[in-house]
Amino acid sequence: MTNAPIYDATKQRITELVDGADPHTPVAATPGWSVKDVVAHLAGGLRDFVDRRFDGVESGEWGERQVRDRRDNSLDDAFAEWEANRALAEPLFDTPMGSVLIAEVVQHEHDLRAAVGVPGDRDGVAVRAALTKPLQQLDQRMRDNEVPALRITLEHGDRVLGHGEPEGTLRTTSFELMRAIGGRRSADQIKALDWDGDPDTWIAALALFGRHRPEPFSE
């Protein structure tokens, strides 16, 4: 399945998920944001992708700006903007940026699921697709920083990250890996996964955004 149908299906699940929910429900996975804020971020972020506006991505200001600029908007406003920006973004889905958009929307789907207490869709194609770009980034980072290679065993097969023969193995699910490298798990939670080898060898490299969650997060 190509990126656009996966994105659209995830967008539809999110729409149905939060329909009727309190828009001010806190989203613990994204501290300080509500349900409305997460949808506003998805809408505004998609427009920033279209406009190639990425200032503040590393610091987190990228997303905070999107939410701040839309603080007075309603949840319906956020969905309307998301729909309009989705049409503008159509050409992006046939470029490498398409896999970035998948990673973003699927991660936030599960942030919202945790917030409203409706878990689901953890073992489908969307979660596996959401790992495509992050795993490429992790592989390159490990090679650039000469981090020992790591074998990751998932429910649908193995993947070796880094250069050379793996010096350790992490066995987990695609969902847990997505949440771990996306900053939704603490370092202690990641170390408690099924490892062969010392997880401290790889724990820093697995922080895709430069940091793990400071406190444990269960969902």
pLDDT at 58: 75
pTM of the model: 0.95
Q: How many residues does the chain have?
A: 219
Distance CA 158, CA 75 (A): 40
**Tokens for 108?**
């936030």
Distance CA 118, CA 205 (A): 31
pLDDT value at 176 more than 90? yes
Neighbours of 156 (CB within 10 A): 10
Mean pLDDT value of segment 98-120 = 97
pLDDT value at 210 more than 80? no
pLDDT at 1: 58
pLDDT value at 61 more than 80? yes
Q: How confident is the model at residue 211 (pLDDT cuts 50, 70, 90)?
A: confident
pLDDT value at 5 more than 70? yes
**Tokens for 98?**
């398409």
Mean pLDDT value of segment 96-114 = 97
Mean pLDDT (the chain, rounded): 95
Please choose, from the candidates 195, 191, 188, the residue with its C-alpha nearest in 3D space to the C-alpha of residue 213: 188
The pairing of strands 150-154 and 194-196 is: unpaired
Contact in structure between 151 and 168 (CB atoms under 8 Å): yes
